[in-house]
């Protein structure tokens, strides 16, 4: 049977979800292999080097850079407090001295005789990494962090904003075709993750922000509304660092697009359960898609759907059209002709014959996405 | 003629695709005979670049019937039916080479350092300078955030004051930057500044970095010396950056010449062509994320990377920087603006899709025009004569108001404009590529247009750079012959008179004399675009511009030259410069439709 490989987004009912939880710099790992983790468990911590202050001692004291050493009252590596004298001139018969005080608490990192500058390092900044999802420690990466493993349902979105959030899943839209409106968002949804249908307006997102909803999963959002949320035009899809209380995960794309049936029903099945979500997206080499992880209570999991080899598009596969015309529609592959076909644009491409609502269409294979499920 | 090199295998490992080409000596010249491609395998689950290379080479094997691989080894030398004489490769996989540069004065040593890094094929993440307006702690935070592959530090003329460049070195030391790939090696730093500061630089940076010292990039204000820095960047790219990337140690052991960063190889090829033919060249490669522009004017090579102007990953940034109105001015039909922005957004998040409908194609090509236009503006601003140079001014200079730091890019001087990248190379009609190049670069006078059909320039560039004595002559001959005969698709020549002209007035009379002796007269009128089909053959041309109009010989001065046709033909562009479109919608649409029709740009139907 002819088939073509088109990577799709994952919608998995039950999988072994693995995640690296790694420090930005080397440090201490606080858990060991096999430990059971809550999302809040701190798994590793370290200290980032503190901020640096540079003092132009030679300029302040009006002396030559090479004379700075003589004027110093401290040594390299010495701890100092704010207000401590760092350097002082001898003055005239001990009078008319001028001096330089430390503007911060920290240590003297270095002294330069070429430029007459003294470098002060402020106190280290502690950094901690939590588990993010409940599970167990599968592997310890020495001095760096861990790899966590969890039995979970796992869904990828196409695009998201804001980083990691946690909350219980609440179903708001009663079908994948329904818009999630501002009126439906109420104060008791604080800290929850809301499941919407086809669309979320800017007004509804703002309402969610105002009641501190933890996250929203929805089919579509308008591209031009992102500017009002982010404060700038989103030029490249690299997100995750936005300081927003409500993470947004769009599962289908920009515009009003019904959430795929598989995604919607899996979310619906898990209503009331705790989920961890991350809106971070990076569409470049090393693609990162936003994710929804719902840990499942089952000690022994017999199906590991993620480890299945990705299947290419085959006759009978369910696919979604990801570019106009027919954008967002779901269909079934009828055939995969091997020869190139000329499109209306005169582009010569490999196509798939797709049945959508009882009608057949020829669509470039590059414009199709596998709807990957573990059913 | 006996050749030392009878066959060459060359690959380019891009961020998504690895492309292999086979060049063979046949019928007294080097020819591109077969090509293959396969997905790049730098990332999980493969994490070994050589797998993608082997897959691409296997495709070449299948098509050519020649055995090139023995297991996962490339068979050398060529023994008639199997093996190849040399194997070379370029790479931009894993984000290419990412650098940070620093100089004392931003517009002087900072810019020279940037030029060296760009010329070597790097992406410049930031330019630090003593006078860039940032406080030391802000610079330190920035260095820490960026995690470059290497840093180039310059500043000061030889023997001059060392204070400022030492301040920069101290900032670097305080930041103690980490390299992007691997936590276990020191970040490579190249020092190319004031030679008097070398000892102090060693003391400050020697411990915390892997320091290399090369000749000053700006030994005196009036002179730029980029070569030593560029060469050192290439060496370090191999030794450090490539050696950390998955599978590259193995790949490096296979190649007969050092692996070059892809844009570095393209640049060196363009530089070589311009030198050999004694012409001015502009080359552009528009990709999904970035647009690279290369130029050679007055013998000076420049490269710029517009890091966020591209056709998929950065398509929304094109929209943000140019504005929706500027994109829509190239679209000859009305469209709902909010629906259009959603469509463009969807291309960004699903970057591999292709335009199926004609409407989608027209919109995509409108965006390409703006991406190219903006990238070229950035290039013109960067490709300048040296800034900060004092020169003696004569009375005539004073009248011309010339100063240092003027752009070297002179569209009237441009001889050859080469486009590559999906939207230009794979446009369904070559006329569309020609139109996109003309509308965005706005060539003046006589300019030859071409596209690199399968983006072969990287492989040819690395071939042209082979420096083993016994191989280099054959290798550079192969690079040039394949470039001339197989790499470029000649679109044709564009003739554009420029100057102040009234609407619809005559701008120039053109007389064409063809090889068979026939003669044809053409009138170029303001506001019009005309095309004449003619193959890639010589045509003698005589142009008489109207008063106040220039085609290259000066205002009102006649010009005689030899031009070439191509797959599109000869284009007569009377749209003056810059090309302006009416603010009034129906007039603008009329103009767009008539220009499209004149060059047979799109299929005839409801829309055109």
pLDDT band at residue A6, thresholds of 50, 70 and 90? very low
Q: What is the mean pLDDT of residues B563-588?
A: 95
What is the rounded CA–CA span in Å between residue A295 and residue A14?
9
> What distance lies between CA A143 and its chain's CA centroid?
23
Please report, rounded to a whole number, the percentage of residues in chain B having pLDDT higher than 70: 96
Domain spanning B7-84, CATH class: alpha beta
3-state helix, strand, coil in chain A (%, to 5): 15, 45, 45
For β-strands B488-496 and B569-573, DSSP reports them as parallel
pLDDT of residue B1: 54
pLDDT of residue A309: 43
> What distance lies between CA B378 and its chain's CA centroid?
13
DSSP state of B106: I
pLDDT of residue B404: 63
The answer on A281 and A165 residing in a single domain is yes
Question: Residue A80 domain-assigned?
Answer: yes
Q: CA A321 → CA A252, A255, A353, B35, B533, distances in Å?
A: 10, 14, 12, 31, 39
A47 token code pair: 């200290």
pLDDT of residue A3: 42
pLDDT of residue B279: 96
pLDDT of residue B409: 95
The answer on A272 and A212 residing in a single domain is yes
pLDDT of residue B538: 96
CATH number of the domain encompassing residue A68: 2.40.50
> Tell me: the pLDDT tens digits for A55-90?
889 999 999 988 888 999 999 889 999 999 999 988
Q: What is the mean pLDDT of residues B537-546?
A: 97
Q: CA A274 → CA A191, A192, A321, B33, distances in Å?
A: 11, 9, 32, 59
Residue B403 has pLDDT above 60, yes or no: no
pLDDT of residue A4: 42
Residue B182 has pLDDT above 70, yes or no: no
Question: What ipTM was assigned to the predicted interfaces of this complex?
Answer: 0.85
Report A:234-253 residues touching B (Cβ under 8 A).
Answer: 234-237, 253
B388 token code pair: 């900060």
Residue B553 has pLDDT above 70, yes or no: yes
Mutation target for B interface from A324, A327, A354, A362: give the one with most B CBs within 10 A: A324
What is the rounded CA–CA span in Å between residue A365 and residue B488?
29
Tell the burial category of B463 from Cβ atoms under 10 Å away from its Cβ (0-12, 13-18, 19+).
Answer: buried
With residue B481 as reference, give the H or E element that holds it.
helix B469-482
pLDDT of residue A311: 58
The answer on A168 and A112 residing in a single domain is no
The answer on A283 and A165 residing in a single domain is yes
The answer on A246 and A163 residing in a single domain is yes
A324/B356 touch (CB, cutoff 8 Å), yes or no: yes
pLDDT band at residue A2, thresholds of 50, 70 and 90? very low
Q: Which of A114, A224, A364 sits opposite B338 (nearest CB)?
A: A224
Highest mean pLDDT pick, A39-53, B175-189, B399-413, B437-451: B437-451
Phi-psi label, residue A306: left if phi above 0, alpha if psi -120 to 50, beta otherwise: alpha
Q: Which of A53, A114, A222 sits opposite B338 (nearest CB)?
A: A222
Question: Phi and psi dihedrals of B460, rounded to 5?
Answer: -70, -35
Lowest pLDDT segment from A1-10, A92-101, A340-349, B22-31: A1-10
B15/A285 touch (CB, cutoff 8 Å), yes or no: yes
Q: Is A53 on the interface with B (CB under 8 A)?
A: yes
Nearest residue in B to A66, CA atom: B163
The closest of B106, B454, B465 to B258, measured between CA atoms, is B465
Task: Supply angle C-alpha A205, A207, A211, rounded to 5.
Answer: 115
The closest of A16, A2, A6 to A310, measured between CA atoms, is A6
pLDDT of residue B525: 97
User: Are B431 and B548 in contact, with CB atoms under 8 Å apart?
Assistant: no
Domain spanning B94-254, CATH class: alpha beta
pLDDT of residue B362: 96
Highest mean pLDDT pick, B253-257, B392-396, B439-443, B453-457: B439-443
Grouping H, G, I as helix, E, B as strand and the rest as coil, residue A40 is: coil
pLDDT band at residue B401, thresholds of 50, 70 and 90? very low
CA dihedral (A230, A232, A234, A235) in degrees, to 10, reads: -160
Does the predicted TM-score (pTM) go above 0.90? Answer: no
B346/A253 touch (CB, cutoff 8 Å), yes or no: yes
Question: Residue A1 domain-assigned?
Answer: no
Contacts with A110 from chain B: Cβ below 8 Å: 170, 173-174
User: Are B576 and B501 in contact, with CB atoms under 8 Å apart?
Assistant: yes
Within 8 A by CB and 6+ apart from B338, the residues are A222, A224
The answer on A280 and A168 residing in a single domain is yes
Question: Residue A153 domain-assigned?
Answer: no
Please report, rounded to a whole number, the percentage of residues in chain A having pLDDT higher than 90: 63
Question: Phi and psi dihedrals of B11, rounded to 5?
Answer: -125, 155
> Tell me: the pLDDT tens digits for B95-129?
678 899 999 999 899 999 999 999 888 888 899 99
The answer on A204 and A164 residing in a single domain is yes
Contacts with B16 from chain A: Cβ below 8 Å: 285
Q: Does residue B77 have a cis peptide bond before it, meaning omega lies within 30 degrees of 0?
A: yes
What is the rounded CA–CA span in Å between residue A5 and residue A336?
12
B516 token code pair: 């068979």
User: Are B303 and B261 in contact, with CB atoms under 8 Å apart?
Assistant: no
Q: CA A179 → CA A191, A251, A256, A268, distances in Å?
A: 21, 14, 8, 16
Q: Is A359 on the interface with B (CB under 8 A)?
A: no
The answer on A325 and A255 residing in a single domain is no
Residue B61 has pLDDT above 70, yes or no: yes
What is the rounded CA–CA span in Å between residue B126 and residue B522?
50
What is the rounded CA–CA span in Å between residue B432 and residue B602?
8
Q: CA A314 → CA A270, A276, A319, A341, B65, distances in Å?
A: 30, 33, 10, 18, 30
DSSP state of A148: E
Residue B427 has pLDDT above 80, yes or no: yes
pLDDT band at residue A375, thresholds of 50, 70 and 90? low
Contacts with B338 from chain A: Cβ below 8 Å: 222, 224
A223/B140 touch (CB, cutoff 8 Å), yes or no: no
With residue B38 as reference, give the H or E element that holds it.
strand B29-39
Domain ranges of chain B: 7-84, 94-254, 282-313+324-498+569-598
Residue A306 has pLDDT above 50, yes or no: no
pLDDT of residue A261: 86
The answer on A243 and A366 residing in a single domain is no
What is the rounded CA–CA span in Å between residue B347 and residue B353?
7
Within 8 A by CB and 6+ apart from A348, the residues are A340, A341, A342, B428
Q: How far is B356 from chain A (nearest CA, A)?
A: 6
A285/B140 touch (CB, cutoff 8 Å), yes or no: no
Within 8 A by CB and 6+ apart from A199, the residues are A179, A180, A218, A219, A220, A221, A255, A256, A257
Question: Phi and psi dihedrals of B3, rounded to 5?
Answer: -115, 140
Contacts with B314 from chain A: Cβ below 8 Å: 235-236
Half-sphere exposure in the Cβ direction for B192 (13 Å, CA): 30
B93/A285 touch (CB, cutoff 8 Å), yes or no: yes
Q: Which of A119, A223, A285 sits opposite B174 (nearest CB)?
A: A119
DSSP states of B221-255 as a string?
TT----HHHHHHHHHHIIIIIIHHSTTHHHHHHH-
Q: What is the mean pLDDT of residues B181-197?
A: 86
Q: Which of B289, B345, B350 sits opposite A223 (nearest CB)?
A: B345
pLDDT of residue A373: 58
B170/A110 touch (CB, cutoff 8 Å), yes or no: yes
User: Are B418 and B284 in contact, with CB atoms under 8 Å apart?
Assistant: yes
B37 token code pair: 């491609």
Mutation target for A interface from B139, B156, B174, B181: give the one with most A CBs within 10 A: B174
pLDDT of residue B393: 52
CATH number of the domain encompassing residue A362: 2.30.30.30
Residue B394 has pLDDT above 60, yes or no: no
pLDDT band at residue B44, thresholds of 50, 70 and 90? low
Question: Residue A148 domain-assigned?
Answer: no
A236/B316 touch (CB, cutoff 8 Å), yes or no: yes
- Between B494 and A10, the more confident residue is B494
Q: Say how many Å lie between the first and final Cα of chain B, rounded.
A: 54
pLDDT of residue A91: 78
Q: B111-119 vs B358-382: helix axis angle to the nearest 10?
A: 130
- Between A357 and B400, the more confident residue is A357
User: Are A205 and A229 in contact, with CB atoms under 8 Å apart?
Assistant: yes
pLDDT of residue A1: 36
Count CB atoms within 10 A of the CB of residue B587. 11
Tell the burial category of A345 from Cβ atoms under 10 Å away from its Cβ (0-12, 13-18, 19+).
Answer: buried
Averaged confidence pLDDT in chain A:
89
Q: Tell me how many domains chain A contains.
A: 3
- Between A197 and A373, the more confident residue is A197
Q: How far is A245 from chain B (nearest CA, A)?
A: 23
Residues in a beta bridge with A36: A136
Q: What is the mean pLDDT of residues A277-291?
A: 86
Nearest residue in A to B351, CA atom: A283
Lowest pLDDT segment from A278-292, B159-173, B218-232, B446-460: A278-292
The answer on A192 and A109 residing in a single domain is no
For β-strands A42-48 and A28-29, DSSP reports them as antiparallel
The answer on A192 and A76 residing in a single domain is no
Residue B81 has pLDDT above 70, yes or no: yes
The answer on A326 and A281 residing in a single domain is no
Please report, rounded to a whole number, the percentage of residues in chain B having pLDDT higher than 90: 65
Q: How far is A231 from chain B (nearest CA, A)?
A: 13
Averaged confidence pLDDT in chain B:
90
CATH number of the domain encompassing residue A162: 3.50.30
Q: Which residue, chain included where needed, has tokens 């329904």?
A: A178
A347/B428 touch (CB, cutoff 8 Å), yes or no: yes
Residue B391 has pLDDT above 60, yes or no: no
Contacts with A54 from chain B: Cβ below 8 Å: 136-137, 170-171, 174
User: Are A99 and A85 in contact, with CB atoms under 8 Å apart?
Assistant: yes
What is the rounded CA–CA span in Å between residue B136 and residue A255?
44
User: Which domain covers residue A367, as residue numbers?
Assistant: 311-373
Q: B262-277 vs B469-482: helix axis angle to the nearest 10?
A: 80
With residue A356 as reference, give the H or E element that holds it.
strand A348-356
Question: Residue A201 domain-assigned?
Answer: yes
What is the rounded CA–CA span in Å between residue A162 and residue B283?
39
What per-residue string of b and e applies to B297-331 under the rule 16 or more CB within 10 Å gives b?
beebbbbbbbbbbbbbbbbbbbbbbbebebbbbbb
> Tell me: the pLDDT tens digits for A200-211?
999 999 999 999
A91 token code pair: 């003055």
Contacts with B171 from chain A: Cβ below 8 Å: 54
User: Are B495 and B117 in contact, with CB atoms under 8 Å apart?
Assistant: no
């Amino acid at each position: 049977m002819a088939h073509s490989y088109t990577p799709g987004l994952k919608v998995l009912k039950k999988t072994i979800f693995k995640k690296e939880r790694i420090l930005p710099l080397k440090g201490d790992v606080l858990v060991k292999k096999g430990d059971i983790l809550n999302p809040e468990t701190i798994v590793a911590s370290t200290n980032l080097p503190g901020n640096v202050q540079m003092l132009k001692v030679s300029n302040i004291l009006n002396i030559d850079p090479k004379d700075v050493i003589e004027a110093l009252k401290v040594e390299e590596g010495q701890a100092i407090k704010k207000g401590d004298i760092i350097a002082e001139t001898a003055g005239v018969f001990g009078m008319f001295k001028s001096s330089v005080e430390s503007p911060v608490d920290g240590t003297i990192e270095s002294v330069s005789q070429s430029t007459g500058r003294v470098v002060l390092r402020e106190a280290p900044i502690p950094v901690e990494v939590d588990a993010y999802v409940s599970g167990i420690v599968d592997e310890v990466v020495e001095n760096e962090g861990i790899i966590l493993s969890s039995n979970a349902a796992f869904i990828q979105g196409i695009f998201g904003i804001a980083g990691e959030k946690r909350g219980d899943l609440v179903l708001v839209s009663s079908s994948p075709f329904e818009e999630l409106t501002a009126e439906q968002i109420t104060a008791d949804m604080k800290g929850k993750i809301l499941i919407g249908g086809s669309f979320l307006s800017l007004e509804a997102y703002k309402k969610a922000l105002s009641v501190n909803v933890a996250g929203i999963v929805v089919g579509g959002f308008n591209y031009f509304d992102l500017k009002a949320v982010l404060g700038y035009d989103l030029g490249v899809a690299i997100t995750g660092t936005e300081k927003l209380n409500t993470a947004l995960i769009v599962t289908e794309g920009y515009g009003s697009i019904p959430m795929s049936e598989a995604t919607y029903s899996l979310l619906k099945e898990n209503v009331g359960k705790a989920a961890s979500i991350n809106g971070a997206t990076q569409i470049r080499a090393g693609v990162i898609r936003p994710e929804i992880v719902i840990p499942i209570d089952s000690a022994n999991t017999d199906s590991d759907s993620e480890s299945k080899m990705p299947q290419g598009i085959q006759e009978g596969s369910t696919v979604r059209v990801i570019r106009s015309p027919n954008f967002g529609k779901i269909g079934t592959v009828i055939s995969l002709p091997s020869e190139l076909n000329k499109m209306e644009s005169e582009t010569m491409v490999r196509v798939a014959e797709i049945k959508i609502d009882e009608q057949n269409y020829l669509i470039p294979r590059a414009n199709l996405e596998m709807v990957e499920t573990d059913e | 003629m006996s050749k030392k090199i009878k066959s060459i295998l060359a690959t380019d490992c891009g961020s998504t695709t690895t492309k292999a080409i086979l060049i063979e000596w046949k019928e007294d010249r080097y020819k591109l005979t077969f090509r293959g491609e396969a997905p790049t395998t730098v990332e999980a689950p493969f994490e070994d670049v050589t797998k993608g290379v082997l897959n691409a080479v296997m495709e070449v094997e299948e098509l050519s019937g020649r055995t090139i691989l023995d297991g996962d080894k490339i068979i050398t030398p060529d023994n008639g039916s199997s093996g190849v004489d040399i194997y070379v490769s370029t790479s931009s996989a894993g984000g290419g080479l990412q650098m940070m540069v620093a100089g004392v004065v931003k517009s002087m040593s900072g810019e020279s350092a940037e030029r060296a890094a760009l010329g070597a094929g790097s992406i410049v993440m930031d330019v630090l300078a003593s006078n860039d307006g940032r406080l030391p702690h802000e610079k330190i935070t920035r260095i820490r955030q960026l995690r470059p592959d290497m840093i180039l530090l310059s500043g000061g003329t030889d023997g001059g004051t060392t204070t400022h460049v030492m301040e920069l070195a101290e900032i670097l030391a305080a930041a103690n930057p980490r390299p992007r790939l691997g936590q276990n090696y020191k970040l490579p730093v190249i020092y190319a500044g004031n030679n008097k500061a070398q000892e102090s630089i060693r003391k400050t940076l020697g411990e915390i970095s892997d320091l290399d010292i090369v000749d000053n990039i700006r030994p005196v204000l009036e002179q730029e010396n980029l070569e030593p820095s560029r060469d050192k960047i290439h060496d370090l790219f191999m030794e450090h950056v490539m050696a950390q990337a998955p599978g590259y140690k193995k790949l490096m052991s296979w190649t007969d010449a050092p692996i070059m960063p892809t844009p570095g190889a393209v640049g060196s090829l363009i530089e070589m062509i311009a030198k050999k033919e004694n012409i001015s060249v502009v080359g552009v490669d528009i990709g999904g994320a970035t647009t690279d522009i290369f130029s050679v004017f007055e013998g000076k090579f420049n490269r710029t990377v517009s890091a966020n102007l591209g056709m998929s990953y950065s398509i929304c940034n094109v929209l943000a920087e140019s504005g929706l109105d500027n994109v829509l001015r190239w679209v000859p039909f009305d469209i709902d603006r909010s629906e259009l922005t959603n469509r463009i957004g969807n291309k960004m998040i699903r970057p591999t899709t292709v335009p199926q409908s004609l409407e989608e194609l027209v919109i995509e090509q409108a965006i390409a025009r703006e991406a190219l236009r903006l990238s070229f503006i950035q290039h013109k601003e960067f490709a300048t004569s040296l800034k900060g140079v004092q020169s003696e001014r004569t009375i005539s200079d004073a009248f011309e108001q010339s100063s240092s730091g003027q752009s070297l890019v002179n569209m009237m001087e441009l001889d050859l404009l080469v486009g590559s990248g999906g939207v230009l190379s794979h446009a369904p009609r070559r006329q569309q590529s020609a139109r996109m190049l003309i509308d965005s670069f706005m060539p003046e006078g006589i300019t030859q247009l071409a596209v690199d059909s399968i983006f072969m320039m990287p492989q040819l560039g690395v071939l042209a750079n082979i420096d083993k004595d016994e191989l280099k002559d054959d290798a550079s001959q192969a690079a040039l012959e394949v470039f001339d005969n197989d790499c470029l698709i000649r679109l044709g020549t564009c003739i554009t008179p420029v100057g102040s002209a009234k609407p619809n007035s005559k701008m120039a009379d053109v007389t064409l004399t063809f090889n068979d002796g026939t003669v044809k007269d053409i009138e170029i009128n303001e506001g019009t675009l005309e095309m004449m089909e003619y193959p890639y053959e010589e045509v003698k041309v005589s142009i008489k511009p109207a008063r106040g109009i220039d085609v290259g010989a000066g205002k009102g001065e006649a010009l005689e030259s030899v031009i070439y046709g191509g797959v599109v033909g000869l284009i007569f562009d009377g749209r003056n410069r810059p090309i302006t479109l009416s603010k009034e919608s129906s007039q603008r649409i009329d103009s767009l439709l008539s220009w499209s029709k004149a060059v047979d740009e799109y299929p005839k139907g409801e829309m055109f």
